[in-house]
Amino acid sequence: MAPKKKLYGGETQKAVDNFPISGETVPPSVIHWLGRIKGAAATVNGELGLLDKALAAKIAEAAQAVARGDHDDQFPIDVFQTGSGTSSNMNTNEVLGALAGAHPNDDVNYGQSSNDVFPSAVHLAALDQATNQLLPALKQLERSFDKKARQFKDVVKSGRTHLMDAVPVTLGQEFAGYAAQMRLGQERVAAALVHVGQIPLGGTATGTGLNTHPQFAERVRKLLAKESGLKLIAPPADPFEAQANRDALVELSGALKVVAVSLTKIAQDLALMGSGPRAGIGEIFLPELQKGSSIMPGKVNPVIPEVVLQVCAQVIGNDTAITIGGMQGQFELNVRIPLMARNLLQSIHLLSTTSDALREKCVDGIQANKAGCKRSAESTLATATALNLAIGYDKAAAIVKEAASSGRMLRDVALEQGVDPKVYDETIDLRRIAAGNQAQEPAKKAAPKRKPAAAAKASGNGKPAAKAAPKRKPAAKA
C-alpha cells in the first residue's frame, strides 16, 4: 500500500519499479536500525565539525522517528533487491533528507556507504532481536521444562531407544534433558552473537574507510551501544573480513538451526508421549486447546507440538538459504545480504514466538498420566537388564525371551528359572533402576549372592564364564 504522502524520492521509486518480486519488503527491524545508525552518524559528524550541528540535530531527530517505526510505510522496496542493500540505504537517505531538509547523499549519508551501513543494520537488528526476544524466550522455556522435571521426578516410565522398550527412566529425567537442550541452545546463540556484534561500520565502499573520519566508526558504535544497551556492539576483527563476508550471520543461523533441531526432537517426544489416549503411548496429558476433528467427537490433537515442528522445518530451510547466501560475493563484498537478513530475522522471530507458545500453551499445562507411566514401566522387559550383575547377561536374556514368548510376568519366569526371590525383588526396583548409577549403594548388598547365582548358570546356558576365568591365570604364567 502506497503512503499518502511520499517522503522518498526518485532512487527509491526506481527500485520499486525494478524489483516487483515478492511483495515482501525489507524487515522493519533493519529499517529501524538504519535509522538509528544514520541518526548516530549525524550526531557524530556534527560533533566532529563535519556537518552543521543544527542540521545534524534535525537528521538525528528524523532518524529517531524512523527508528520508532513512525514512517514504515515510506520503505516500499522489495526485500529481493540489489544484493548489497543499496536501494534500501538510498531509500533511508531520501526519507531522512525529506524529513530534515537535508541532502540525502551529502548530509544524511556523510561518511557512509551502503556496503558498510546496510550489513551493520542487519547485524544489529539480529543482535537486538536475539538478545531481547529469543534468548529470554528460550530461558523461560528452559525454566518451564525444569519445573516439570522437578514435578515429575518420581514418575517412573519405560525408557525407549530405537522406539523400542528400554530400561525404566523417570518422566522428570526426560524433561530435565529438554531443559538442558534449551540451556545449551542459549549458550550457542550467545556465543554466535559475539561475532554478530562486530559490525563493518566505517569501512565505507571496500573496507578502507575512504571519505570517513578516523574517529567516526568508534564514536558511532559507542553511541549506538549506549542508546540501545547492546554491549556486544564492537569493531570488526579486520575491516576487510567484515566487509567481504557475512560469516557471523551464517554462524548465528547455524546456532538457530541447532535450536530448531532440539525443539523438533522435544516436540516429537511430547506428541508421542501424549498419543492415545487409549491406543497410543499415553504417558502424559497435553492441554486440550481445541477440537481435533470435524468428524470424530472428542478427538484432541497435539496442535502446539505440530506448530513447533512446522516452524523448525522453516528455520532449517532458512538456514540453507543463509548458508548459500554466505557463499555469494566476490572479493570485497558479499552481495546476498537482503536474503540473509530476511531469513535470519524470520528465524529469530519464529523461534521466539514459538518458544513462548510451546511454554504457555503446552509445557506449563502438561500433566503426567501416572497410570500410563506405571503401565509402561512395569511392562518393559528391559528391566531384566538390572539382573545382569546378579545372574549374568545370558541367563537374563533367556528369562526375557521366555517371558516375551509366553506373555508371563518377568518375575514368575525368573523365579521358575532359579533366581532367588529376594535377589529379584531387591534388584528389580523400578525407581532404583531409573536412578541408574545414582542408586549403587543398595545394589551392592546383593553382590555376595552373585557367586551362587553364577554357579546355577550351568544348568541353563552352558559353562559359566566366571568358572573359566580362574584357569586363565595359571595358563598365562606357564
> Which pLDDT score is estimated for 27?
98
> Which of 426, 423, 418, 386 lies closest to 402 in space, CA to CA?
418
Question: Band of the pLDDT at 447, cuts 50, 70, 90?
Answer: very low
Q: So what's the pLDDT on residue 274?
A: 96
pLDDT at 213 exceeding the cut of 60: yes
Sign of the torsion formed by the C-alpha atoms of 397, 399, 402 and 405: negative
For residues 180 and 361, what is the distance between their CA atoms, to the nearest angstrom?
A: 20
Band (pLDDT 50/70/90 cuts) for residue 463 is very low
Alpha carbon separation from 309 to 314, 327, 353 (Å, rounded):
9, 28, 13
pLDDT tens by residue, 349-385: 999 999 999 999 999 999 999 999 999 999 999 999 9
Looking at residues 185-200, what average pLDDT do you find?
Answer: 98
pLDDT tens digits along 406-442: 999 899 999 999 999 999 999 999 999 999 988 755 4
203 vs 199: CA distance, rounded Å: 10
Per-residue pLDDT, averaged over 121-127, amounts to 98
Q: Decide the pairing of beta strands 329-330 and 333-334.
A: antiparallel
Neighbours of 49 (CB within 10 A): 9
C-alpha distance from residue 257 to each of 74, 203, 311 (Å)? 33, 30, 11
Task: Write down the pLDDT at residue 1.
Answer: 55
| Nearest alpha carbon to residue 382 among 164, 160, 165, 163 | 165
Three-state SS for 244-285 is HCCHHHHHHHHHHHHHHHHHHHHHHHHHHHCCCCCCCCCCEE
User: Among this protein's residues, is 293 annotated catalytic?
Assistant: yes
**pLDDT grade for 445, boundaries at 50, 70 and 90:** very low
pLDDT band of 91, cuts 50, 70, 90? very high
Whole-angstrom Cα Rg for the chain: 32
> Any residues with CB less than 8 A from the CB of 418 and at least 6 apart, and which?
456, 459, 460
The residue-averaged pLDDT of 127-137 equals 98
State the alpha helices, DSSP H only, in 108-230.
114-129, 135-151, 171-196, 216-228
pLDDT exceeding 90 applies to what percent of the chain?
86
| 28 cis-preceded (ω within 30 degrees of 0) | no
- C-alpha cell of residue 175: 524433561
pLDDT of 440 reads 57
More confident: 461 or 217: 217
Give percent of the chain above pLDDT 70. Answer: 91
Residue 4 has pLDDT above 80, yes or no: no
Judged against a pLDDT cut of 50, whether residue 240 lies above it is answered with: yes
Give domain limits for the chain: 10-110, 122-201+231-372, 380-462
pLDDT at 448: 45
State yes or no: is 162 an active-site residue: yes
Average pLDDT over residues 53-81: 98
Q: What does the pLDDT read at residue 477? A: 40
Q: What is the average pLDDT across 191-201?
A: 98
Instruction: Using CA atoms of 340, 344, 346, 352 in order, give the dihedral in degrees to the nearest 10.
Output: -170
pLDDT-based confidence at residue 457 (cuts at 50, 70, 90) = very low
What would the pLDDT profile of 262-273 be if each residue is shown by its tens digit? Answer: 999 999 999 999
pLDDT at position 452 over 60: no
Residue 52 predicted with pLDDT over 80: yes
Q: What is the pLDDT of residue 446?
A: 44
State which fold the 10-110 domain adopts. Answer: Fumarase C; Chain B, domain 1 (1.10.275)
pLDDT of residue 299: 87
CB atoms within 10 A of CB 155: 24
Please check whether residue 310 is in contact with residue 282, taking contact to mean a CB–CB distance below 8 angstroms: no
Tell me the pTM: 0.89
The pLDDT of residue 296: 86
**225-236 confidence digits (pLDDT tens):** 999 999 999 999
pLDDT-derived band at 462 (thresholds 50, 70, 90) equals: very low
Q: Which of 22, 103, 293, 379 is catalytic?
A: 293
CATH of range 122-201+231-372; options 1.20.200.10, 1.10.3720.10, 3.40.50.1110, 3.40.50.2000: 1.20.200.10
